[in-house]
Structure 1
Amino acid sequence: MTPDEAREKFSRRIQRCASCYVAFYVKDLWWADDGNYYCQHCHTDYPGVAVHFSDYAQDFDFSQLPSLHE
């Protein structure tokens, strides 16, 4: 699996927003510095949320995640 394929596979995972609890694809969420995910409607309410998945995913090697090889 190439790094781009791994990034695409991970981005299709479902995750709930830590504020409103609505489920979204990870690729549509913002990541907080405390490890929580927030949707576009909730991310402005929390000061530690500044990184969108697309910005974070450029520098992360998802091919090293064991869960993507299952």
Structure 2
Amino acid sequence: MDLTNRHPGTQQIARYFGYEHLKTPLRDVSKQCHDLAEQMIGTLPDGPELTAGLRKLLEAKDCFVRASLDTAQEG
């Protein structure tokens, strides 16, 4: 994710969208959120709404990963 010349707030929250450290299927779910965050950062200007949107996406990602964890444990 290219964060060159981005606001420090955008840079700081973007780091939480890493997914490489996770195992499948958690990685697959997390990567989808990473990809959306990357697209939004690449498309939208820095500002409070971008930061808020990324924060909410991060919260959603955490929920999706936990749901995926529950599914993985059942199988």
Is the pair's TM-score, using the shorter chain for normalization, greater than 0.5?
no
Query: Which has a greater percent of helix?
Result: 2
Q: Identify the structure with bigger relative contact order (alpha carbons < 8 Å, sequence gap 6+).
A: 2
TM-score (norm 2): 0.30
TM-score (norm 1): 0.31
Query: Which has a greater percent of strand?
Result: 1
Indicate the structure (1 or 2) with the bigger Cα radius of gyration: 2
